[in-house]
Amino acid sequence: MYIITGGAGFIGSALLWELNKAGVCDILIVDNLESDEKWKNLVKGRYLAYMRQDVFLRHILEDSLDEYAALELSPAPAGKPRGIVHLGACSSTTESDADYLMQNNLEYSKILCSYAVRRGIRYIQASSAATYGDGTQGFDDDPELLQKLRPLNMYAYSKHLFDLWALRTGRLNSFAGVKFFNVYGPNEYHKGDMRSMAYKAVEQIKHTGRVRLFKSCKAGYGDGGQLRDFIHVKDCVKILHILLQRPDINGIFNLGSGVARSWNDLAGAVFAAMNLRPDIEYIDMPDSLAGKYQYFTQAGMRRLQSALGASCAFAELEEGVADYVQNYLLQEDKYL
């Protein structure tokens, strides 16, 4: 059995889709569905059971997951879980409740990681490119550079603290962590303001005919010229699936395309996918982002490419955006 925490979320449900494609259905989905519509991400998926996060955490703390499987799952999967992919954290970069982030993103992750390592279960942990802060320390995932990073918001700091804990305790060599860069693609629809700009651009074009991008407040960057490393969610879950099967590959790795592209490029790709001429309006950046905005991100992919080789060949921005827009956002059924 595989366990996906945050399994109803954006990347979690895409991983469910990826595993199902490979014929893997013995999966426990852990999440909090609450009142939004992320339950729709699970409708097409095949999995054994769904469990609330608090119930799952209680089973982990009481070491009673095997007992649950024997009682509730029929037929019960044999032996211990094959792997845990921990994606179930608060992903909002604007979340201001520091105690919530420390509990949900740090302490929860430490408990799961310790449980998996102790029991010899393959463990994959989600980190974030936001841990790199303003980029002055670069975007190299060499663990020797972890101590030098200075995140710009509390979300990133909570992720960074887990990475530092793993390094300090020696667990860094017992699991695989991934620092996601700017992920876009189907099943992100429940994420509100945290949905990708690819999604937002399509919605803006439908309603106004144009896309709104931030003006630049930094020399060397034109309006809409701020740079990001965009990666399709299908490429992300392909790598997660491979890492689940490769317990010999451990450490924290960047997961991006390895190529920085501008917001203007992204908007242009969306217009092209919709067969429309670009129409972009540049607006002032809100005060809430002042001093916290990354003007450049680009994943250093040397270590992951060295470990996985040709598997790290990803869709270019125009190809990935065309797939997302034409095969999902412009279709009646938008889900994987």
Q: Report pLDDT digits (tens) over 190-239.
A: 999 889 999 999 999 999 999 999 999 889 999 999 999 999 999 999 99
Catalytic positions, please? 155, 191
pLDDT at position 167 is 94
Q: Is 143 exposed, middle or buried (0-12, 13-18, 19+ CB in 10 A)?
A: middle
Burial of 320 (0-12, 13-18, 19+ CB in 10 A): buried
> How many structural domains is the chain composed of?
1
- The whole domain housing 93 covers 2-184+229-258+297-315
3-state secondary structure 252-296: EEEECCCCCEEHHHHHHHHHHHCCCCCCEEEECCCHHHCCCCCCE
Query: Which pLDDT score is estimated for 112?
Result: 96
Residue 242: inside a domain = yes
What is the average pLDDT across 286-296? 80
Examine residue 145 and state whether it is found in any structural domain, yes or no: yes
Is there a domain that residue 158 lies in? Answer: yes
CATH of the domain at 68: 3.40.50.720
Between vectors from CA 95 to CA 91 and to CA 101, what angle results, nearest 5°? 70
Residue 238 belongs to some domain of the structure: yes
Instruction: Provide the pLDDT for residue 176.
Output: 97
Kind and range of the H or E run holding 111? helix 108-119
Mean pLDDT score of the chain: 92
- Above pLDDT 70, what percent of the chain? 97
Q: Name the pLDDT band for 163 (thresholds 50, 70, 90).
A: very high
**DSSP character at residue 93:** T
Q: Band of the pLDDT at 91, cuts 50, 70, 90?
A: low
- Asked if residue 331 is part of any domain, the answer here is no
Based on the number of CB atoms within 10 Å of its own CB, is 164 exposed (0-12), middle (13-18) or buried (19 or more)?
A: middle
Determine, yes or no, domain membership for 263: no
| Backbone torsions φ then ψ of 125, nearest 5 degrees | -120, 135
71 or 264: which leads in pLDDT: 264
Is residue 170 a part of any domain in this protein?
yes
Give the model's confidence band at 110: pLDDT under 50 very low, under 70 low, under 90 confident, else very high: very high
Indicate whether 179 pLDDT > 90. Answer: yes
Which CA distances in Å does 144 have to 122, 126, 134, 147? 24, 19, 18, 7
Q: Is the pLDDT of residue 92 over 70?
A: no
Residue 25 within a domain: yes
Predicted pLDDT of residue 263: 98
> How would you classify the pairing of strands 176-180 and 122-128?
parallel
DSSP 323: H
pLDDT given at position 153? 86
